[in-house]
Amino acid sequence: MERDIASPTAEPADLQLGWSRGLSLTTRILAVNLFVLALLGAGLFFLDSYRVRLIDERELAARNQAEFLVRSLPMVPTEKQGAYITAFGRQNQSRIRLYDDSGRKLLDSFELGKPTYIFRDPKEEPWRKVAARGIDRVFDFLVGAPELARFVEPQTDRADAWQEMERARPGKPVSQARFAPDLTHVISAGAVSPDGTYWVLTTANERDIRLFVRAERFNVGMFSLLALGIGVLLSIFLARTIVRPLRHLARAAVKVRLGRAQEVTVPRLPSRRDEIGMLARALSDMSIALRQRIDATEAFAADVAHEIKNPLASLRSALDGAERIEDPGLRAQLMDVAKADVQRMDRLISDISDASRVDSQLAKAKFEMIDLGDMIEQLLQARENRGGDGSVRIAFARPRKMLATVMGEDVRLERMLTNLIDNAVSFSPPEAVVEISATLADDEVLIRISDEGPGVPEQDREAIFRRFHSERPASENFGQHSGLGLAIARTIVEGHQGRISVRDRVDGKGGACFEIALPCAASSSQ
């Protein structure tokens, strides 16, 4: 018995968890959502590739400008070259320097005109700029950005003081990116004239590179923070809508397991139409059914104790009397009473055992297609052969073959029919007729068993199906029935998804008519 109700220890493969089995459901929901948002936040790091592309584009532009200058300067008269490079520098926001083949500086746009850029001293900038540079350093460290050299003006401004000029070749300008004191970018490019007689160096403080990256990083960061906040709120909402009802249901289930089913009210969550609501209503129905089963078991146990006490008391009285009485005739009578009490107890215990097992056996039974017409016919033939019905006759209106078919367990259905027929025979007067019919009505098989007895008062038509109901015919010997026959019949009918009731006879004659409705086998299989 224990093996039937024990939970399997091995989890199904599709329900097993790996490394996350130790985490709560709330933690898992939050972790999954935050992981997705973390991928979005990782876009901050990809801004480094955006900065690299900007620097590469500016270096390319600087090389093109330097190469353009070395090729265009020969076309400009010598006396106008100063004005030319000054205008060119102003147009491109850069500083232009011209060196001869010995490396000596010939022209400088900053010396000939107003500077197009000025390096800012970080010590004189407001705290917001200092904080921004600190954030820049943090992100540069996180993404592994290469550390650029600091831009420093040489003490002696000659061509050989610049690395770009040393590496430049005719037709192959060279550029380099450095950091200004405030960590903005300085892009420089050096180019050599085709004949190698002069050199050009361009420098520009490309402050907008850092500003562009900061602006994009701020936008991505704000969006990531907003998404993170929304994700956390949605995770909490999702966790509350899933975890909290599950926690309540789990606590209620624990209380039921601990034997406090009478105190437990499982929330049904009628407003929820999702799987949690389905689970809540299923658990609520299960707890109600369990509570009803417990109440029924307790009531059944109390009834059993009460019913057994009567024959036990009678048996004890008979045995005590037999010990004291010397008269053999009286002693024989008392022994007959004792034997009758023993038989009554044996019959009662057998019926009690059968009644207590009927539910569980029906739950495990494998239903088969049964022709109730054949079953009733064979049952009546067996009764006739035994001759136990006295002068009471049984009339059966045999239906067409395979008309009254149901899905069921033959032994239990036969027990149900036997109990009802026995009940009808026991209440019928001598020479009476018990009428049995089995017909098909819609999707149900209707069985009617009618007797010619006193009938059942309307107020007692529910009570007769209770266990140990003891209203019997006056002509019947006391203790001949246990009072469980109709209760067992109802249990069997309901175990087959049917219903049973009692009413007056449809033909207006005196007596009772028991009507059983069972699902037709054809409709049950669809």
Structure tokens at 368: 């088969």
Give the model's pLDDT for residue 358.
66
Residue 94's nearest CA partner among 78, 70, 75, 117 is: 117
Over residues 175-199, the pLDDT tens digits come to: 999 999 888 999 999 999 988 889 9
Give the model's pLDDT for residue 478.
44
| Stretch (H or E) spanning 76 | none
Over residues 280-297, the pLDDT tens digits come to: 888 888 777 777 777 767
43-217 shares its CATH topology with 265-363: no
226 pLDDT more than 50:
yes
Residue 156 CA to its chain's centroid (Å): 76
Topology (CATH) of 265-363: Helix Hairpins (1.10.287)
Give the model's pLDDT for residue 128.
83
- Count the neighbouring beta carbons within 10 Å of the beta carbon of residue 174: 21
CATH 3.40.50.970 holds for 365-526: no
Distance CA 481, CA 126 (A): 104
Q: How does DSSP assign 143-165, residue by residue?
A: HTPPPPPBP---SS--GGG-HHH
CB 193 within 8 A of CB 170: yes
Residue 371 CA to its chain's centroid (Å): 44
Structure tokens at 246: 């599950």
Helix (H/G/I), strand (E/B), else coil: 433: strand
Mean pLDDT of 427-447: 89
Per DSSP, 10 falls in state S
- The alpha-carbon radius of gyration of the chain (Å, integer) is 51
Per DSSP, 172 falls in state B
Distance CA 88, CA 202 (A): 10
Residue 31's nearest CA partner among 20, 42, 41, 40 is: 20
**pTM, entire model:** 0.46
Amino acid at 391: S
The confidence band for 15, taking pLDDT boundaries of 50, 70 and 90, is very low
Over residues 346-368, the pLDDT tens digits come to: 766 766 666 666 666 666 677 88
- Count the neighbouring beta carbons within 10 Å of the beta carbon of residue 383: 16
Mean pLDDT of 83-104: 92
Give the model's pLDDT for residue 7.
45
Pick 114 or 386 by higher pLDDT. 114
37 pLDDT more than 90:
no
CB 380 within 8 A of CB 394: yes
CB 325 within 8 A of CB 334: yes
User: Which CATH number is 43-217 given?
Assistant: 3.30.450
- Determine what percent of the chain is predicted with pLDDT higher than 70: 79
Residue 230 CA to its chain's centroid (Å): 23
Average pLDDT, the chain: 79
Give the model's pLDDT for residue 52.
84
CB 180 within 8 A of CB 119: yes
Alpha carbons within 13 angstroms on the beta-carbon side of residue 239 total 16
400 pLDDT more than 60:
yes
Distance CA 489, CA 466 (A): 11
Distance CA 387, CA 305 (A): 34
- Rounded to 10 deg, the angle between the 410-427 and 485-495 helix axes is 140
Give the model's pLDDT for residue 1.
35
| Stretch (H or E) spanning 115 | none
- The structural domains of the chain, with segments of one domain joined by +, span 43-217, 265-363, 365-526
Per DSSP, 398 falls in state P
In whole angstroms, how far apart are CA 51 and each of 139, 185, 211, 439? 12, 11, 10, 88
The confidence band for 479, taking pLDDT boundaries of 50, 70 and 90, is very low
CB 136 within 8 A of CB 211: no
The confidence band for 13, taking pLDDT boundaries of 50, 70 and 90, is very low
- Count the neighbouring beta carbons within 10 Å of the beta carbon of residue 183: 17
Residue 411's nearest CA partner among 360, 365, 346 is: 365
Give the model's pLDDT for residue 12.
47
Q: How does DSSP assign 401-436, residue by residue?
A: TTTSEEEE-HHHHHHHHHHHHHHHHHHSPTT-EEEE
Mean pLDDT of 376-389: 84
Give the model's pLDDT for residue 304.
65
The confidence band for 10, taking pLDDT boundaries of 50, 70 and 90, is very low
98-102, 350-354, 369-373: least confident range:
350-354
243 pLDDT more than 50:
yes
Provide the b/e sequence for 321-340 (b: ≥16 CB within 10 Å).
bbeeeeeeeebeebeebbeb
**Cβ contacts of 429 within 8 Å, gap of 6 or more:** 452, 453
Pick 352 or 14 by higher pLDDT. 352
> Most confidently modeled of 177-191, 245-259, 316-330, 464-478?
177-191
The confidence band for 521, taking pLDDT boundaries of 50, 70 and 90, is confident
- Determine what percent of the chain is predicted with pLDDT higher than 90: 20
412 pLDDT more than 70:
yes
Partners of 517 in beta bridges: 446, 499
> Most confidently modeled of 49-58, 387-396, 509-518?
509-518
Over residues 51-75, the pLDDT tens digits come to: 888 889 999 999 999 999 999 998 9
CB 401 within 8 A of CB 495: no
Distance CA 201, CA 190 (A): 5
